[in-house]
Amino acid sequence: MGLDSAGGGGVILGTKYYFTDAGRLIANYGTNCIWYSGGKYHSTEGFNFGVGYAFGRNQGWAFDLMLADITECNKKTTQISQDTAINLSVGYRF
């Protein structure tokens, strides 16, 4: 749970399945598109699927490659012409 750029709440709910000590499959649903129109920000939710690699399950560097469903975002904006997007996430867990 966190704040999106619109100043509202952004939520992602999902699961991770570790098929090795470092590799995992990821599936979640949540805020995956934010755009500015008519003087304010808007957001849509969708499903995301991907794979990830973590150097240790509890702490260390983690990399995720996600395929995001942005179909609803595509319907509501004219700047996006694809129904999917690829996201690369890099983070460190303490």
| Domain segments of the chain as ranges | 2-93
Exposed (0-12), middle (13-18) or buried (19+): which is 27, by Cβ within 10 Å?
Answer: middle
Eight-state DSSP code of residue 56 = S
Q: Which pLDDT tens digit goes with each residue over 72-85?
A: 877 777 666 677 78
Q: Which pLDDT tens digit goes with each residue over 10-52?
A: 778 899 898 988 899 999 998 877 777 788 887 888 889 999 9
CA angle 82, 5, 86 (to 5 degrees): 30
For the entire predicted model, the pTM comes to: 0.69
Strand-pairing partners, residue 86, are 67
Whether residue 8 is predicted with pLDDT greater than 70 in this model: the reply is no
In whole numbers, what is the pLDDT of the chain averaged over residues?
A: 81
Beta carbons of 59 and 93 less than 8 angstroms apart? yes
